[in-house]
Amino acid sequence: MSKTKSLTPRQEDRRHRILMVARQMVADYGYGGMVMSEVAERAEVSPTTLYNLYNTKDELLLEALRELMVISYQRVGEMSELGPGWKYLLNVMEYGAALRASEPAYAEAITDALLRAVQGDALTELLLHSVLQDFLHSLTKMAEQGELKEGVDVEHLATILLGNYWSTFMLINKGLEAISRMRISLLVNVLSVLIASSQGAAREEMERTLEEIRREVASNA
């Protein structure tokens, strides 16, 4: 585990600077090109200070990614005034697409690392398990509010959404999907899956939202 608890404001600022440098180096050179000694130099800290915070390169990368995810979910939460539910899931997709576009090289490196990761490792747990639990939380809220059809397996549905989410990242990495279309692809995918499993007013509102997105695509064609 990283040694980042109970930091003073100055230490927290230093930690944030280190994580930003680490993300930038991964973006510029890939995971293999992120060298701990160079991270320390660019972040203007001693190697000893860096290793006091992070024991290994893997630990540093995971902490840098974890910080980015925390920031992402905070912003998604700010966008989702009504709390967990289908609109929250749409906001996750929206912000995921924006983040992928704003930090393309870093996002590409992380997606490639995830493809090479093995079951149960820290990267898999962070990018798959934690996101799956977030999706499951929203779907459970939908079920409790009667927005999902009776008998829908929310765990299976969450897994389908997770697969759609990360497969879009993978397709972009492999050049089979344009990054400019990522937002639309993610929104259409999640709405199509949710509509098939939903009912009542929530389903009607999702159908209207999907139609608006399709009109947006048509108008920009």
Q: Percentage of the chain surpassing pLDDT 70?
A: 95
Counting Cβ atoms within 10 Å, is residue 62 exposed (0-12), middle (13-18) or buried (19+)?
buried
Identify the band that residue 37 occupies on the pLDDT scale cut at 50, 70 and 90.
very high
Q: What is the pLDDT of residues 145-196, one digit of tens each?
A: 999 999 999 999 999 999 999 999 999 999 999 999 999 999 999 999 999 9
Q: What is the pLDDT of residue 221?
A: 74
Give yes or no for a contact between 47 and 89, defined as CB atoms under 8 angstroms apart.
Answer: no
Q: Percentage of the chain surpassing pLDDT 90?
A: 56
d(CA 157, CA 195): 12
Q: What is the pLDDT of residue 1?
A: 37
d(CA 34, CA 28): 9
Q: What is the pLDDT of residue 166?
A: 94
Q: What is the pLDDT of residues 53-63, one digit of tens each?
A: 899 888 898 89
Instruction: Please report, for residues 29, 58, 64, 96, the alpha-carbon distance to residue 2 in angstroms, rounded to integers and kept in the order given.
Output: 23, 10, 11, 25
Query: Any idea of the CA torsion for 129, 130, 136, 140, to the nearest 10 degrees?
Result: 140
Cross-strand pairs, 148: 198
What's the pTM? 0.83
Q: What is the pLDDT of residues 84-128, one digit of tens each?
A: 899 999 999 999 898 888 888 888 888 888 888 888 888 889 889
Q: What is the pLDDT of residue 6?
A: 67
Identify the band that residue 82 occupies on the pLDDT scale cut at 50, 70 and 90.
low
